[in-house]
Structure 1
Amino acid sequence: MCLRPVWVGSGLIIVKSPPSSSLHCATDHGGHRPEKLHSTPTPTTALCPAARTLPALFRPVQVSGSSRVSGSDLHAFDVVIVGAGIIGLTIARQFLLGSNLSVALVDAAVPCAGATGAGQGYIWRVHKTPDSEKWELAMRSHQLWEGLAESIQKQGMDPLLALGWKKTGSMLVGRTAEECSLLMRKVKQLADAGLGAEFLSRDDLLSEEPALKLGEECGAAFMPDDCQLDARCAVAFIEKANRSFEAEGRYAEFYYEPVISLLRNESSGMLREFKLPRIRCIVRKLSSLQQAVGVGHLLVLENFNSLNLNHGLMEVGYVNHESTVLSSTTSDTSDSRTGYDDTASISMTATMDMSGRLVLGSSRQLVGFNTDINESIIHRIWERAGEFFPVLKEVSLKDLTKSREVRVGLRPYMPGGKPVIGPVPGISKMLLAAGHEGEGLSLALGTAEMVFNMVLENPQLVNPAPFSL
């Protein structure tokens, strides 16, 4: 078996294999563990035509057979992606559509079981900063999402049904004169960058969103053309497209298969193999490269008629959300007066999803990998939203137990607030795409394109240097 680059965790690795035509895949579509895949025995020196043209960094290596499976059960793929969130799914999609390479997608659970499932779906630009290190990637990814929605429409489908795609517009809301001054500067920056941003005075803001009650000094930065999607709809759409390549033997999913271990050549450092509970392919999850792991809560309310929103909103403090969490790591973990977790940062975000449900966020918490629902965080999200929408104070959260859904997901981030995308030093055939914390959905398509171009040495449309290890 030969290997190529593969995706790890929220990152990526890539692996080389025998000819794609020798693979015959059978995968369960119901999200359950797939049955064994069967491949025709092929000499380990054989490569698909595309593999011969790959850069030296991604040339093949031989991998020994597993003691747990017979030789006919060995699995070989050109690209093995570890992590089936929106980043992993879109990278798989990019290789399937843009090349003839075969792809395997590996995950300890299923898509939407982690960060993606708790994503709010904002493809917004109002809170972005022109000329920042993430700006080009954010703009390119936004362009690709818009292009996907347009292509869906041209095929006679409804982007709302396919992706949960809605042109909501986005608002960054301020409550004080100081915050509004900041927002005016933000609008000028965005306008100078060619975006249709505008500043809304108090009267204009209340005309757009009558439910807001923020005093005399409020205002907002407004991007009327911004859109949002539904994370679960988008994942289902991309999964379906990826699975259309199964019949060709170019795609397989290994869900509920956590990566156990990584083997590499001791002398060269070259990636050789990763082991799953039932099969052997390649790579151990490199969670040590994630400097910190956060968790986020999202509150979704169905049939909530007390509040209706016309746009997507977030408070101006959302921009400083991450720095608040990072600075809080030096403090105690809880406040004895409130019982709240001091490492949790709460900022108001609010929108209506494709089904008319009210979606409220958001939290960032430094609690490791604990994704249990924290009721104190839900109460803080509710209380924070009530500061912007007083009508919520008239409703008890306890009365909404039956109509609410709480989504909790990991928020892996890197210090500096930008993801890591690129080869892992010292380990050939491995790339990492990690740390998109809070922006995985919005940056997914741009990240996938960047990784694809790295592997095939295509010209980059976005400078990858700011994201390298």
Structure 2
Amino acid sequence: MHALHTKPPPRPHYGVRCCTFPSTLFVSHSSSRRSACIVAAVGSSSAQDTVDVAVIGSGIIGLCVARKLLQDTQLSVALLDAKQPCAGATGAGQGYIWLAHRDPASPSWPLARRSKAMWQQLAAAAGSSKLGTAMEWQENGSLLLATSADEVAQLQARAAMLQQQGVPGVVLLSPRELKMAEPALKLPTGSHGLLVKSDAQINGKQTAFAMLEDCQQLAAAAAGGSAGQTSQLLLGLQEPVVGLQPLGDGAGVEVTTQKRRVRARQGVVVAAGVWSGQLLAAATGQQGWQQLLQPRRGHLLEMQPPAGMPRIHTGMMELSYTQHYSSSSEQSHGTAAGNSSSSSKAVHITFTATTSASGTLLIGSSREFSGWEALPDAVIIDAIMQRASCFLPHLSGISAQQLLATTRVGLRPFAVGGLPSVGLVPGLPGVAVAAGHEGSGLCLGPATADLVLHQLLGLDLAAAAAAAGGGGGGEAGGGVTADELLAAAKELAPERRLASLAAASR
């Protein structure tokens, strides 16, 4: 096979709409960009390894899967990635572990509740656990901002909905209370806020690398050796996977990388984010996988707070951001890109802001279908800052050139229909997928690992809930039962997600 080379795409022209409330800001492309498909050549290496389970992808989903296997079973694991941890969406986000903006009617809701409780349990070990400390857990709350009468009504309905679901710390803020809570904000008269005090955030990148180290230590402890001398974990970073083949007769699945062949006796979990679509399309012959999982580039800006700006105490976002998490937002590529044609893509700019544990500001955010390009764009950075300064006037006058070096860019694994695919892959015995979480990998990761390993290996969901302290419906497990997770699994099943793609195409 040969690598497919593409010419650099022409620089797009953007049109930016200024500080109107409450709508999301849109930035329009006047020209399309090509999608680049990277096809790696298979070398002649005869290196072979055998493990129980292979995990493809070392983003937060893959790491959660690998860690659960190493912590809760005696199985050996291969963790394979074309790059390094956080090469996709994990390291480019704000790290919100929120319920405020999520929809209880969505199948992802029980995963979010359970995952949040599991992260909180890990964070409780901070000081005695390197992973718990590295997470930088901040229970600083979430704040949704409503800037019109219509949005205030939506906010009131959302508050009632969250309270009905038993989410703790849900408080509606009047205009005066909102100003007192966040003095840096400048909003139209009559604006309200919805504060969820129990929401939190973590440092996604540090969490991922600490989780990788935790996997190595768990494997070493199981093998009775050091982290560098154990057969319990085969770590293959910088090893693109170029082949995936069930062997039949119960022999497992063979995974081929550029450096080796790995036989996974009990199965494979594909958790390679948006790149999962390419791999599964090649392995199954179903091109629908590439259509189902698409790259959606996002920018997040990191900066020191401007002089004189009051500290931001919560994580905040404008209410229109919640459209990305609505159960009624099952949408195709075209509608997600603003009903644009193939020659005109839209960039959605929505205000979000928080303060990191180190004191820097994290300002966002953008969403766009721009192929596989993952470099920062100065025009988009300027658009994000323009939108942010509508809410935080202290940010006015900061240029993209000042922020290019610290801007985070990642490719979110957007899934048509708005839901991830979690479960067994049709036509590939012994292969499961956990991909398409878009910007929710951190928020859904731990519960996704529970669910996909139940489907692949039969791991007991009820026992996992009890291990998380939630077997009796307690807060440590998010109050989520095994039955609720299994009900969600039906909606997240790959065959169901592929069927939704086919329906959207008709």
Scaled by the length of structure 2, the TM-score of the pair is 0.72
Unaligned stretches of 5+ residues in structure 1: 1-65, 335-340
How far apart are residue 426 of structure 1 and its match? 1.3
| 1:140 match: secondary structure | helix
Q: 1:389 aligns with which of 392, 395, 412?
A: 392
Alpha-carbon separation, structure 1, partners of 2:300 and 2:314: 18
Q: Equivalent residue for 2:63? A: 89
- Asked if the contact 1:302–1:358 (Cα under 8 Å) also holds between the matched residues in 2, the reply is yes
Alpha-carbon separation, structure 2, partners of 1:398 and 1:135: 36
Aligned residue identity for 1:252 = L
Alignment of 1:152-301 (within 5 A): 152-153=126-127, 155=128, 159=132, 161-196=133-168, 197-244=170-217, 245-246=219-220, 247=225, 248-264=230-246, 272-281=253-262, 285-286=279-280, 288=287, 289-290=289-290, 291=292, 292-301=294-303
Alpha-carbon separation, structure 1, partners of 2:456 and 2:304: 44
- Asked if the contact 2:413–2:438 (Cα under 8 Å) also holds between the matched residues in 1, the reply is yes
Q: 2:53 aligns with which of 76, 79, 90?
A: 79
CA deviation string 1:136-164 (max 9, x = no partner): 111011111111111335x37694x4212
Q: Equivalent residue for 1:25? A: none
Inter-CA distance 422–405: structure 2 relative to 1 (3 Å threshold)? same
Q: Equivalent residue for 1:467? A: 492
| 2:439 match: secondary structure | coil
Q: 2:365 aligns with which of 362, 365, 371?
A: 362
Inter-CA distance 112–409: structure 2 relative to 1 (3 Å threshold)? same
| 1:262 match: secondary structure | strand
| 1:454 match: secondary structure | helix
Aligned residue identity for 2:138 = K
| 1:281 match: secondary structure | strand
Inter-CA distance 277–109: structure 2 relative to 1 (3 Å threshold)? same
How far apart are residue 456 of structure 1 and its match? 3.1
Q: Equivalent residue for 2:314? A: 311
Scaled by the length of structure 1, the TM-score of the pair is 0.78
- Asked if the contact 1:304–1:358 (Cα under 8 Å) also holds between the matched residues in 2, the reply is no
How far apart are residue 269 of structure 1 and its match? 11
- Asked if the contact 2:345–2:369 (Cα under 8 Å) also holds between the matched residues in 1, the reply is no
Q: Equivalent residue for 2:31? A: none
Q: How many residues align?
A: 391
Q: Equivalent residue for 1:32? A: none
Inter-CA distance 306–276: structure 2 relative to 1 (3 Å threshold)? farther
Unaligned stretches of 5+ residues in structure 2: 1-41, 269-277, 282-286, 462-481, 495-506
Alignment of 1:333-348 (within 5 A): 342-348=345-351
Percent identical: 34
Inter-CA distance 172–280: structure 2 relative to 1 (3 Å threshold)? same
- Asked if the contact 2:375–2:409 (Cα under 8 Å) also holds between the matched residues in 1, the reply is yes
Q: 1:101 aligns with which of 58, 75, 78?
A: 75
User: What is the root-mean-square deviation of aligned Cα atoms in Å?
Assistant: 2.5
| 1:409 match: secondary structure | strand
Inter-CA distance 89–158: structure 2 relative to 1 (3 Å threshold)? closer
- Asked if the contact 1:321–1:346 (Cα under 8 Å) also holds between the matched residues in 2, the reply is no
CA deviation string 1:100-120 (max 9, x = no partner): 000111111000111111121
- Asked if the contact 1:81–1:92 (Cα under 8 Å) also holds between the matched residues in 2, the reply is yes
